[in-house]
Amino acid sequence: MAQDICVIVAAEDRARLAAVAGDRSRPLKHVQRARIVLFSADRLPVTEVARRAGVSRPAVWRWQRRYGEQGVDGLLRDKSRPPGKPPLPFATVARVLALTCSEPPGETTHWTGRAMAKAVAISLRSVQRIWATHRLQPHRIRTFKRSNDPAFAEKVEDIVGLYMNPPAHAMVLSLDEKSQIQALDRTQPGLPLKPGKCGTMTHDYKRHGTTTLFAAFNVLDGTVIGRCMQRHRHQEFIRFLNSIERAVPPGKPIHAIVDNYATHKHPKVLAWLERHPRWVFHFTPTSASWLNAVEGFFSALTRKRLKRGVFHSVVDLQAAINRYIEQHNHDPKPFVWTKSSETILAKIDRLPVPSE
């Protein structure tokens, strides 16, 4: 290509190019093109022209040819680019949206990008852009469970009232147990986190037994009273209630929020409540564990201490849980409930009615 072009610059063109190359207000691309032609007119090799102008050899050949075809004016303007692809027709976009919100063909559980692209005869990237624009995510699904408790509204109003307007001079506790916490030990030590690589751990493990954590979450100040036991029968639950009874100052009413686990309604537990009149149990609706504040503490415990933990025995597991509770109580955060019972009930009404 370089041998086909012999750059001959007239005197007037040379003066004009020199003015362009020396003009500091000119765009850099114009200055480079002018220098390419001026250096080429001095019979310099293509490699030397490219080095002095700070461009590649193909760029030197391109602008040599452009000057030979169009002169100085050709150097100062860019060729018009061909127009991009036209946008998809509205009917195509509407068809993608309609298919996405309908059942996929056959026994396929959900639409994928490639399946949609094949069905509509467009590119995968076009499908992804349409889904992103209209905030459609067929690969995701959220689960729900509507309570069929006949006293659902009354129980929600009762518990939310305790959260948002607790009784004066009383303690509001959220009680529950996290059962079957496994003391898992990895078969081999993992590798730590490194730049560009995540931490590792073996997929297999050794079981060293289980424990059950009984926890009482103080809604007012965020502290937790916890105790690990081997089982979660009514006997252990009563022992846990006795430990709370000893920890709470005498004469202070205690409102305990508990779920509908059979242990919490055992006859001996109910008899214990009769002997301790300052205790009042508030039962959550069935299938509504999200209403129990202590579940948030259990979730944080699982993420921060249990999920990746390595425990050589049940004793190690229980010690780790006790240390986490102690650290949590050093800097507790009061529990803040923001949704009123009216808002919750209005949202529940939008869910499908469970079948009998």
Q: How confident is residue 354, by pLDDT bands cut at 50, 70 and 90?
A: low
Q: How far apart are CA 111 and CA 318, in angstroms?
A: 46
**Is a pLDDT exceeding 50 seen at residue 215?**
yes
Q: How many CB atoms lie within 10 A of CB 304?
A: 13
**What are 16-69's pLDDT values in tens digits?**
999 999 998 999 999 999 999 999 998 888 999 999 999 999 999 999 999 988
**What are 122-145's pLDDT values in tens digits?**
999 999 999 999 999 999 988 877
pLDDT attached to residue 90 = 93
Listed in order, strand segments (DSSP E) in the chain are 171-186, 205-218, 224-229, 254-258, 279-283
Mean pLDDT for the stretch of residues 296-303: 93
The SS3 call for residue 7 is: coil
pLDDT attached to residue 178 = 92
pLDDT attached to residue 1 = 45
Mean pLDDT for the stretch of residues 205-215: 91
Q: How far apart are CA 300 and CA 295, in angstroms?
A: 9
Q: How far apart are CA 273 and CA 243, in angstroms?
A: 14
Q: How many CB atoms lie within 10 A of CB 350?
A: 6
Running DSSP on this structure, what letter comes out for residue 157?
H
pLDDT attached to residue 2 = 47
**Is a pLDDT exceeding 60 seen at residue 146?**
yes
